[in-house]
Amino acid sequence: MGTTGRRTGLIEYWKCILPALLLLAVTRMPASAQLSGDLPPLPQISVSEAKDGLAATIGSETLHISVCADTVIHVVASPVGAASAVPEQPWMLAPAESCPGAKFRLVKDAHAATLTTAALKVTFSLERGNLTYSTVGGENLLQEWDAVPRTYEPDTVNGLKTFHVSDRFSPVATEAYYGLGQHQSGMFNYRGATVELRTIPTSPFRCWSPARATRCCGIPPP
């Protein structure tokens, strides 16, 4: 009789508290969904055609895409007011040799500006400011994260004002990253790993191995 009474009391207790728990869950659900699903707001975005590709402004950031060849795209992004690398190409060869250029076509609509060469497509989102690289046949090669693709953290190093720069990508499930031969860690696929790339020259002829992605591209060292 005592066991039955305790069981009946427990059932009545849950009958009373369960509606309150359900109401709390229903009330809180939209807030959690909003936190996980909404993207942060972006400032105003503008884009225009440049003689060598595309120029864009994303709030306090400038972006310049140069078509160096049908299969070579050079991207420079920086905060407004920072020293730009566009006039001075950061290559050992002269611009006529390192980035000679190629024919391209720029098409804009309400959502994106797409730059197309004979082999590649580079799509700049007018809604999020991120870049997507694909072949002209539609195969996705690389895509920046659509939430906050690029960030700049100002800093002063040895008296020089500079930035800590981050660029975030959304790789496909089967993509791997390999290379970085200067790291003797025994790790082949660097996907999911945190690796600090730091240049400490010990001789004027030191060589560096860039990281490479299995789908598209090489990521040069600093």
Which CB contacts under 8 angstroms, 24+ apart, belong to 109-115? 113/47, 113/54, 113/56, 115/53, 115/54, 115/65, 115/67
What is the predicted pLDDT for the residue at 138? 92
Q: Residue 161 above 80 pLDDT? A: yes
The letter for the amino acid at 6 is: R
Question: Which span out of 90-99, 135-144, 182-191 was modeled with the highest average pLDDT?
Answer: 135-144
pLDDT at residue number 124: 97
State yes or no: pLDDT of 16 exceeds 80: no
Digit-coded pLDDT (tens) for 102-129: 999 999 999 999 999 999 999 999 998 9
Identify any residues that bridge with 211 across adjacent strands, giving them in sequence order: 219
Model confidence, pTM? 0.69
Domains of the chain in sequence order: 45-170 (2.60.40.1760), 177-222 (no CATH)
76, 85 contact by CB (below 8 A): yes
Question: Which of 30, 56, 66, 76 lies closest to 128, judged by CA?
Answer: 56
Confidence of residue 147 (pLDDT cuts 50, 70, 90): confident
Instruction: Look at residue 183 and tell me whether its pLDDT is greater than 80.
Output: no
CA contacts within 13 A on the Cβ side of 149: 22
Range of lowest pLDDT (167-176, 177-186, 207-216): 207-216
What is the C-alpha separation between 101 and 95, in angstroms, rounded? 9
